[in-house]
Amino acid sequence: MKKRVFVLGATVVAAVALSSCFKIVPGPMATYTVQPQPSPGSRHYGWVGTFPLPDQACTPGAIDPLVTQADIGSTICASGYTAGIRPPESVTEPEKQASALAYGYTGPFSTAEYDHLIPLELGGDPNDPANLWIEPNDNPAATTFVNSKDSLENRLNDLVCSGQVTLLAAQLAISSNWVTAYQKYMGTLPTFSPAPPVGAWCQASAVLANDGYNGDYNVSITSNQPDQLATARDATDSWSDYTDSSGSVTILLYYTSPGEGITVTVGAATCTTTA
C-alpha cells in the first residue's frame, strides 16, 4: 500500500494515501482575514440519505501542523483550546455566504453550520478553505445548526485524548467520510422525522372499520385545511366529508380491497394511503 509522507521541520507524518488527502497548512493566525471561496455553483455535495458530505475536490480537510500526537495534552485535550484559535464571525460569516454560493446551498442559514471538516478539537486548521464548507443539517426538522457530525467530533476527541485512537487516525477518518466514521465510532446513524410540510398539506391512514362488513375502512385525515371538503377515493368509489376546525376528519370508505391505494384530497392538498 502506498504511503504519502509530509515533512514538517523535524516532524515526519506518514499517512496512508486516500483518494483525497487532507492538506497541511500554516495553522492558527494572530489575525484572520476572509479567505476566497470556490466560484458559485462549482461544488457539489455527496449524500448518504439525509447526511451531507463535502466536495472532496474542494474540501479534503486541512490540519494545523502545531497540533501533533506528542502535544495533544496542551492543545486539543486542554480546556478552552479551541476558543483561543477560532476565527471571529466577522471573518467566517462572509466565507459561509460565499461557500453557500459555491455549493448552491439555498436552505436556511440558521440550521446550516460553517463546518470545519477536521474539527478544531482534532487539530483541524481554523480558516483554510480546504477545511471549511457550509454543512446542511442532516435532520430535516432541525431548528438549530447542531447536527450529527458534532456528536462524532466530540466522541473522536474523547477517544484521542484517552489514548484509544491516534490523532492521525481520527483526522483521516473524519476527513475521508464522516458518515462512515460515525458508523464506526458511534454506531447506527440516527433517524429523523420528515420536515414539516410547507403550504397546503394532508396526511392519511386507513384501518378496517370493524363494522361487520368486509372491505369497509375508516380513513383518518389530518391537514392544515380546516372546514374544507375532503374526499377519499379508491379505484371504484369515493366518499366525502368536511374537515373540522383543526383540519381533521374520518371518512368511511366502503368495499375497498386490502392493499388497495386510497387517494385523499383536502382543499388544495393531496395525500395517499393504503388499505
Sign for the pseudo-dihedral over CA of 34, 89, 134, 63: positive
DSSP H helix total and E strand total for the chain: 5, 15
The model's pLDDT over 2-45, given as tens digits with 9 standing for 90+, comes to 333 333 333 333 333 333 456 778 888 999 999 999 999 999 99
β 217-223/249-253 pair status: antiparallel
Cα–chain center distance at 68: 29
Q: Quick one: pLDDT at residue 215?
A: 84
Q: Distance between CA atoms of 146 and 115, rounded to whole angstroms?
A: 11
49 pLDDT higher than 60: yes
Sign for the pseudo-dihedral over CA of 110, 112, 114, 119: positive
Q: Quick one: pLDDT at residue 13?
A: 39
Hey, what domains does the chain have and what are their CATH numbers? 3-185 (no CATH), 202-274 (2.60.40.10)
Decide if 129 contacts 37 (C-beta within 8 A): yes
The model's pLDDT over 207-232, given as tens digits with 9 standing for 90+, comes to 888 888 888 999 999 888 898 999 99
